[in-house]
């Protein structure tokens, strides 16, 4: 029962924040909300890669590839291969 409640609860709290803005358009005065994705993703990336020097280095290289290529698949493949090579070499 506890698991069921958790599943339903997770579904509700994930679904509602996505449904509400679609039913009621966002007030133009709330323009700061466009900064939410970039803030969250930057915070996640920064706090994740600072855990090791290898990740910092791999993260910088991956960023450069993402910036230049604008291709998600290439970015992921490059990032994983570079990180693997770094862990093997160092």
Partner 1 sequence: MVWQSLCLLFCRSITVHSTSNANEQCKRIYNNSNDLFRKLEAHTYGHIPFKVLQRCCQEISFGITDETFAIAVKRFEEGKADWLYNLKLNTLCYISWVSGTVVGLIFGYLIPLNLVDVFSFCLVAPFIFIATASVEKRFDVVVAVVAGVVAILLSSLPKGWNIVLACLVGCLVGGVYEWRLR
Which residues bind to partner 1, rule: CB under 8 A? 3-4, 6-7, 10-11, 14-15, 18-19, 22-23, 31-50, 55, 58-59, 62-63, 66-67, 70, 72, 75-76, 78-80, 83-84, 87
Question: DSSP state, 1?
Answer: -
Query: In the numeric block, which tokens belong to residue 54?
Result: 């290898």
Shortest Å distance, C-beta 56 to partner 1: 11
Shortest Å distance, C-beta 75 to partner 1: 4
């Amino acid at each position: 029962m506890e698991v069921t409640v958790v599943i339903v609860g997770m579904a509700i709290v994930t679904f509602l924040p996505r449904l509400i803005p679609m039913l009621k358009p966002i007030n133009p005065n709330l323009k700061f909300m466009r900064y939410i994705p970039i803030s969250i993703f930057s915070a996640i990336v920064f706090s994740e890669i600072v855990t090791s020097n290898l990740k910092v280095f791999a993260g910088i290289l991956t960023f450069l590839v993402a910036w230049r290529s604008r291709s998600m698949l290439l970015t992921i493949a490059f990032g994983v291969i570079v990180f693997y090579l770094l862990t093997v070499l160092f």
